[in-house]
Amino acid sequence: MKTSRRFHAPGADPHFASDNISGAHPEIMAALAAANTDAPAYGADEITDEFHELIDETFGSGAYGFPVFNGTGANIVALQAVSHPHSSVICADTAHVYTSESSAPVRAGLSLKPQPHREGKLNPADVAKVLASDAGNPQAVQPTAVTISQVTEMGTVYTAEELTELCNTVHEAGLAIHMDGARLSQAAAALGQDLHGATTALGVDILSLGATKNGAMGADAVVVLSNRVPQDVLAPIIKYSTQLASKTSFLSAQLNAMFGTSLWHRNATAANTAAAELAAGLATINGVDVQAPAANTVLAAMPERLLIRLREHYIVHLWGTNGAGLPIVRLVCSWATTSQKVTELLDVLRG
């Protein structure tokens, strides 16, 4: 379970604290500038029409979605679409929607049912156990959906085989599966998959499609991938959840620039490559124990003296302790993480 201590020195560099620290990619800024003109409001514009076509082409015929402001909004809208106030949603106990989205799920009437994670992942056997214990019990909140994160909060990535097995377990029980894809681009790039292959093809029913953590200024989307989600359910939930933008064209422009080109893959690959470089460098420092990154997140356990030195220069988040009691630091690379940035951090630790 992660901790939330965030002490750091004044003026510390925030770059590795998260991939949403980095600014917007130049191609995103160019798309926003091009969209800066008169347009019909609330999604009735040509740029948003292009977004709808893009979703259908990218995720498979029949897929549809709508832009929203942020990842929490996407998760709340998506989970409301596959649940109701007297049902529950199964998640890992590290899930972002459970640990880091405050009371937003409660406000939306979502009852989350957290389960022990295994390196950030939900195990199909654990999900099946919950389903078996709750089935037909009038005193238990009956689950209607399962939510997972890809990349997980522990920096791990579900393989195609793992995700297929989990989706099969969920579907056999008559439930829907939601993916928090705030870092889907990084996961798909790491797995060598396209976006359809990483989601629809494996059985995901509804997706929070993230762009902000991969170089957008601020845009995400809710994408329905299967007929397990009613066709007409999104529009009223988006409005009720205050996720309907008056100037939707600016959100759509970012999403089109990100997913209508190779930008999502280029940015994700750059972030993943930087994480691999950072992990390799950390592994050469005496006393540092590194988890090989599956995508763009590095978890490194280090002695207190190195942690103190690191925090004199960088904002870093603690992620619990390892088996030897050493603090674990989470370092996240972005599309803007250069080799020079990596070298500077390593030089700090090498003293």
CA atoms in the 13 A half-sphere facing the CB of 184: 29
Q: What is the pLDDT of residue 239?
A: 93
Whether 181 contacts 209, CB under 8 Å: yes
Q: What is the pLDDT of residue 334?
A: 98
3-state secondary structure of 146: strand
For residues 60 and 333, what is the distance between their CA atoms, to the nearest angstrom?
A: 30
pLDDT at position 8:
67
209-238 pLDDT tens trace: 999 999 999 999 999 999 999 878 899 999
Alpha helices in 60-120, H assignment, sequence order: 71-81, 96-99, 104-107
Q: Is the pLDDT of residue 1 over 50?
A: no
Q: Is the pLDDT of residue 75 over 50?
A: yes
- Using alpha carbons, select from 94, 102, 30, 51 the residue that is nearest to residue 73: 102
Question: Beta strands 176-181 and 142-149: pairing type?
Answer: parallel
pLDDT averaged over every residue in the chain: 94
Tokens of 188: 């798909």
Q: How confident is the model at residue 2 (pLDDT cuts 50, 70, 90)?
A: very low
Q: Locate all alpha helices (DSSP H) within 117-183, ordered by sequence.
A: 124-134, 160-172
Quick check: 11 pLDDT over 90? Answer: no
Rg of the chain taking only CA atoms, in angstroms: 20
Q: What is the mean pLDDT of residues 36-46?
A: 97
What is the Cα–Cα distance from 118 to 127, expressed in whole angstroms?
Answer: 12
pLDDT more than 70, % of the chain: 98
pLDDT at 7: 58
CB atoms within 10 A of CB 127: 22
Name the residue with higher pLDDT: 3 or 194.
194
pLDDT one-digit tens code per residue, 125-184: 999 999 888 777 787 888 999 999 999 999 999 999 999 999 999 999 999 999 999 999
Euclidean distance between CA atoms 291 and 198, whole angstroms: 23
Can you list the domains of the chain with their CATH numbers? 15-19+264-350 (3.90.1150.10), 26-261 (3.40.640.10)
Which segments of the chain are extended strands (E)? 64-68, 87-92, 111-115, 142-149, 176-181, 206-210, 220-224, 289-291, 297-301, 317-321, 327-332
Q: What is the mean predicted confidence (pLDDT) over 182-190? A: 98
What is the predicted pLDDT for the residue at 3? 42
**Cα–Cα distance, 67 to 52 (Å, whole number):** 10
pTM for the structure as a whole? 0.94
Give the contacts of 192 (CB within 8 A, at least 6 positions apart): none
Indicate left, alpha or beta for 203 from its phi (over 0: left) and psi (-120 to 50: alpha). Answer: left
109 pLDDT band (50/70/90 cuts)?
confident
Yes or no: say if 285 and 350 are a contact pair by the CB < 8 Å rule: yes
Q: What is the pLDDT of residues 296-350, one digit of tens each?
A: 999 999 999 999 999 999 999 999 999 899 999 999 999 999 999 999 999 999 9
Over the stretch 239-280, which tens digit does the pLDDT of each residue have?
999 999 999 999 999 999 999 999 999 999 999 999 999 999
Cis amide leading into 82 (omega within 30): no
Query: Quick count: other Cβ atoms within 10 Å of Cβ 38?
Result: 6
